[in-house]
Amino acid sequence: MNTVATVSKVFIAFQDNEEARPVVEAILADNPQADAVYSPGLVKINAPGHLVVRRATIEEQTGRPFDLQQIHVNLVTLSGHIDEDDDQFTLSWNQ
Amino acid sequence: MSTVTLKPYDFPAKDVRENFPAPLLYIGWDDHLMFASPYCLPLPPDTPFGALESAVLPGIYGEHPDFGKIDWSAVQWLKSGQPWKPDPARSLADNGLRHKDVIRFRTPGLTGLKGSHS
Amino acid sequence: MDTRVTKKKLGLKERYAAMTRGLAWDTTYQPMDKVFPFDRYEGIKIHDWEKWEDPFRLTMDAYWKYQGEKERKLYAVIEAFAQNNGQLGVADARYINALKIFIQAVTPLEYMAHRGFAHVGRHFTGAGARVAAQMQSVDELRHFQTETHAISHYNKYFNGMHNASHWYDRVWYLAVPKSFFEDAMSGGPFEFLTAVSFSFEYVLTNLLFVPFMSGAAHNGDMSTVTFGFSAQSDESRHMTLGIECIKFMLEQDPANVPIVQRWIDKWFWRGYRLLTIVAMMQDYMLPKRVMSWKEAWEMYAEENGGALFKDLARYGIRLPKGWEIACEGKDHISHQAWNAFYNFAAAAPFHTWVPTDEELNWLSEKYPDSFDQYYRPRLEFYRERQQAGHRYYSKTLPMLCTTCQIPMFFTEPGDPTKICYRETTHGGDKYHFCSDGCKHIFEQEPEKYVQSWLPVHQIYQGHCFKPGVDPTQPGFDPLAAVLDWYDLNVGRDNFDFEGSEDQRNFATWRGDAPQAGSAKKGGAA
């Protein structure tokens, strides 16, 4: 195991398309420690310990209302414990 | 441990000896993993053990360049992973081989394609 | 947003509560235990079903809305792909063989999962768990259908895709996924969720749907990448169901911990063995490569799985048994599996081949500790033999592991030069295994695995021939009779890619120059 001394990473990945782009940009804006890795068709965002997706930030990006559950349409995979309400979606590990 | 069930759970084993025309013998050639896995063969119990060398194994392993180089007098056999000395003149059954036994042979000095154990 | 019109009467959490638990009721004409008889006998103690959480809080109305949107997007891509003859845009016709494995081995599992989740979606006492399982059941049916639709376009042009459901019940290598799922479905509902939702979906399926699908995109197959990612978008929910179920069981009663750990041990190992074929697809069947199996394993299993088990340690859960051995296998299993399918290429409905020099060099670079030393020489030998007109095919049936049903090609931990042999005796009969993991699983439930339908043994028992075939006739060819029972199109569906009809057709359609020399040699057995 190579993760004993470090903070575990959470991640979330989306299809690399125009609908997902404002979501990805909002996540990167709200999570300064996150980094995005692009591979064909896919963008995977990793963050140490914790990551938040905020509805308000996505709405600022697009200028229109956004229902957070819309992320299901372009979501590919994720890792971490999830908590979701109307305003934000978080991923975290407890440790 | 046993299976946790709601009701009695007792079903026949699929691969008992009576279900096959001949007992199964598994055979592997160590250090020659170009042959991906050991093989499974139904062999009549009265087959002489020596027939493996002369009649059975050439058809299975003959394509390997090491096969023709085997010194059969130096071959080391293992049964269930333990060193074992079969008598080639006696039958499989008389050598103590039973249904679903596994035997392997080692060919000293032969280490496969370019020494890769392939 | 000052223009936002807020019509919502309930927040997400309240809406979820109202639409799941609020719609459920306790039975009165019959006791609840009689209506839900299956979720206690496994020994899992549940004190309060209200504690079950779906963190996505997805309700059925939202579910249909978003699934409908996913379908519209997916079918737009599939149709555009068909209209533009997208099959001609893939990197190389060898790639199509990965899709053959997909339709033969993965798609039928989606259908099995649909059935499995429909069953547990009926049988959990708690409404939250039932709703999540029912959604997943519908998802899995969707995956079965979308994969079938997407791949049906390729079926018009390529061999090896026309008979997947029939093969699933018969072809030797498909006994591996089939037995995996039947093992899970014949467990109780909590074991099923631990097996499929947690051990397989949470810990392992990223390895199938993420790097492999990204590879499909890289190889010009937009149809597959779209169904893959569309399916995987549901997997996020499935994985979440898996981890929530685990946390729920662990939090409900400390007596559940050892049961859950035993299931995690079992199903991690079974899932890891099942994924061997994905390792091979990733390293050998994507002509343009995104990442090696080893790299994918490190990213999705070691890093992510490591984080998960570190998190679960607070409940007293440890890494699954065999974890270190699985991690060591990342240097080996893709090569060992490809070798097995190369050996038995006459008996499987897809093609194998020796990688090109450039591909061999890529494998050397990605596997500096194993490839040149153990695996490259056999591939170069095969190529030499093929070019001399003697493509190697094994004609003898392999020894199979009783538990995972995979031919015994895995090597000893710590020694990739020796096959790993394990055996035990039960009821006076010997049983053989590829690993300590598979042996341990058998020993936990021998009365289950003595029923294994092992394809090699079934052939020798005479159960894999068409009615009326007489194996005692002089000159009887058992392999030909088995392939006939498979309904495999001999000479088109099987054998080497070199010299195959797929290879010739693809070159013709693309207007590529005829392949000098190589296509003539070594195609037949």
Chain C residue numbers touching A93 (CB-CB < 8 A) = 307, 310-311
Q: Distance between CA C444 and CA C131 in Å, rounded?
A: 32
Cβ(C419)–Cβ(B62) below 8 Å? no
The second-level CATH assignment, the architecture, of C60-510 is Orthogonal Bundle (1.10)
User: Does C460 sit within 8 Å of B2, measured CB to CB?
Assistant: no
Report the pLDDT value the prediction gives residue C398, as an integer from 0 to 100: 98
In sequence order, what DSSP letters do the residues of C217-276 get, joined into one string? HHTT-HHHHHHHHHHHHHHHHHHHHHHHHHHHHHHH-TTHHHHHHHHHHHHHHHHHHHTH
- Residue C8, number of CB atoms within 10 A of its CB: 11
Q: Using 50, 70 and 90 to split pLDDT, how confident is the model at A80?
A: very high
Cβ(C225)–Cβ(C77) below 8 Å? no
Q: Which of C58, C232, C304 sits opposite A69 (nearest CB)?
A: C58
Report the pLDDT value the prediction gives residue C517, as an integer from 0 to 100: 45
SS3 A75: strand
SS3 C373: helix
* Distance between C307 CA and the closest CA of chain B, angstroms: 31
Q: Distance between CA C291 and CA B75 in Å, rounded?
A: 43
Q: Using 50, 70 and 90 to split pLDDT, how confident is the model at C175?
A: very high
* Domain boundaries, position B78: 21-113
Q: Distance between CA C415 and CA B63 in Å, rounded?
A: 25
Domain borders along chain C are 60-510
Report the pLDDT value the prediction gives residue A86, as an integer from 0 to 100: 92
Residue B89 lies in a domain: yes
Q: Dihedral angle at the C-alpha atoms of C375, C376, C380, C385, nearest 10 degrees?
A: 0
How do residues C176-207 score in pLDDT, each as one tens digit? 999 999 999 999 999 999 999 999 988 888 88
Cβ(C461)–Cβ(B19) below 8 Å? yes
Cβ(A65)–Cβ(A59) below 8 Å? yes
Residue B7 lies in a domain: no
Report the pLDDT value the prediction gives residue B29, as an integer from 0 to 100: 98
Chain A residue numbers touching C73 (CB-CB < 8 A) = 73
Strands (E), C139-217: none
C partners (3+ CB pairs within 8 A) are: A, B
Say if residue C48 is exposed, middle or buried (CB neighbours under 10 Å; 0-12, 13-18, 19+): exposed
Place of tokens 């890795």: A37
Q: Distance between CA C176 and CA C118 in Å, rounded?
A: 23
Cβ(C242)–Cβ(C193) below 8 Å? yes
When pLDDT is averaged across residues A62-75 and rounded to a whole number, the result is: 93
3-class SS letters over C387-425: HCCCCCCCCCCECECCCCCCECCCEECCEEEEECCEEEE
Residue B14 lies in a domain: no
Residue B1 has pLDDT above 90, yes or no: no
H runs (alpha helix) in chain A = 21-30, 55-62, 71-74
Q: Which of C13, C66, C310 sits opposite A85 (nearest CB)?
A: C13
Chain A residue numbers touching C66 (CB-CB < 8 A) = 69-70, 72-73
Chain C residue numbers touching B4 (CB-CB < 8 A) = 41-43, 188
CA distances from residue C154 to C87, C95, C502, C503 in whole angstroms, order as listed? 7, 12, 11, 14
Residues constituting chain B: 118
Chain C residue numbers touching B61 (CB-CB < 8 A) = none
- Whether residue C17 lies within 8 A of chain B, CB to CB, comes out as no
Cβ(C355)–Cβ(C379) below 8 Å? yes
Task: Please report how the helices C276-284 and C357-366 are oriented relative to each other, as an axis angle in degrees rounded to 10.
Answer: 130
In sequence order, what DSSP letters do the residues of C260-306 get, joined into one string? HHHHHHHHHHHHHHHTHHHHHHHHHS-SS-S--HHHHIIIIIIIHHH
Q: Distance between CA B97 and CA B24 in Å, rounded?
A: 10
How do residues B33-88 score in pLDDT, each as one tens digit? 999 999 999 999 999 999 999 999 999 999 999 999 999 999 999 999 999 999 99
Domains of chain A: 9-92 (3.90.56.10)
Residue B3 lies in a domain: no
Place of tokens 């103690």: C45
Q: Distance between CA C317 and CA C250 in Å, rounded?
A: 9
Structure tokens at C374: 């153990």
Residue C515 has pLDDT above 80, yes or no: no
Cβ(A51)–Cβ(A91) below 8 Å? yes
Report the pLDDT value the prediction gives residue C208, as an integer from 0 to 100: 81
Say if residue A70 is exposed, middle or buried (CB neighbours under 10 Å; 0-12, 13-18, 19+): middle
Strand partners, C218: none
* Selected residues 294-333 of chain C with any CB under 8 Å from a CB in chain B: none
Residue B20 has pLDDT above 80, yes or no: yes
ipTM at complex level: 0.98
How do residues C368-377 score in pLDDT, each as one tens digit? 999 999 999 9
Place of tokens 């504690």: C51
Residues constituting chain C: 525
SS3 C430: strand
Which is nearest to C452 in space by CA: B19, B21, B26, B41? B19
Range name among B10-24, C112-126, C224-238 with the lowest pLDDT average: C224-238
Residue C361 has pLDDT above 60, yes or no: yes
User: Does C188 sit within 8 Å of B36, measured CB to CB?
Assistant: no
* Selected residues 51-70 of chain B with any CB under 8 Å from a CB in chain C: 59-60, 63
Which residue does chain C place closest to A78, by CA atoms?
C236
What sign does the CA torsion over C450, C453, C459, C464 have?
Answer: positive
Pairing of strands C411-412, C415-419: antiparallel
Type of residue numbered C345: A
Task: Please report how the helices C276-284 and C256-274 are oriented relative to each other, as an axis angle in degrees rounded to 10.
Answer: 40
Measured CA angle at C27 (ends C25, C29), to 5 deg: 150
Residue C2 has pLDDT above 70, yes or no: no
Residue A4 has pLDDT above 50, yes or no: no
Q: Using 50, 70 and 90 to split pLDDT, how confident is the model at C520?
A: very low
Residue A41 has pLDDT above 90, yes or no: no
In sequence order, what DSSP letters do the residues of C311-354 get, joined into one string? HHGGGT--PPTTHHHHHHGGGTHHHHHHHHHHHTTTSSSS-B-P
- Output the average pLDDT for chain B: 97
User: Does B102 sit within 8 Å of C385, measured CB to CB?
Assistant: no
Cβ(C465)–Cβ(C409) below 8 Å? no
Chain C residue numbers touching A84 (CB-CB < 8 A) = 12, 55-57
Residue B11 lies in a domain: no
Cβ(B6)–Cβ(C37) below 8 Å? yes
> What total of structural domains would you count in chain B?
1
- Whether residue C376 lies within 8 A of chain B, CB to CB, comes out as yes
Residue C514 has pLDDT above 60, yes or no: no
Q: Which of A3, A82, A86 sits opposite C12 (nearest CB)?
A: A86
Residue B26 lies in a domain: yes
Cβ(C380)–Cβ(C190) below 8 Å? no
When pLDDT is averaged across residues C58-87 and rounded to a whole number, the result is: 91
CA distances from residue A39 to A13, C234, C493 in whole angstroms, order as listed? 11, 20, 33
CA distances from residue C469 to C73, C238, C466 in whole angstroms, order as listed? 49, 46, 6
Chain B residue numbers touching C334 (CB-CB < 8 A) = none
Q: Distance between CA B61 and CA C394 in Å, rounded?
A: 9
Cα C233 from chain centroid (whole Å): 17
Pairing of strands B24-29, B101-106: parallel
SS3 A76: strand
pTM of the model: 0.94
SS3 A27: helix
User: Does A73 sit within 8 Å of C210, measured CB to CB?
Assistant: no
- Output the average pLDDT for chain C: 93
Q: Distance between CA C13 and CA C19 in Å, rounded?
A: 10
Report the pLDDT value the prediction gives residue C54, as an integer from 0 to 100: 85
Q: Find the CATH number of the domain harbouring B58.
A: 3.10.20.560
Structure tokens at C239: 């994985």
Q: Distance between CA C421 and CA C498 in Å, rounded?
A: 34
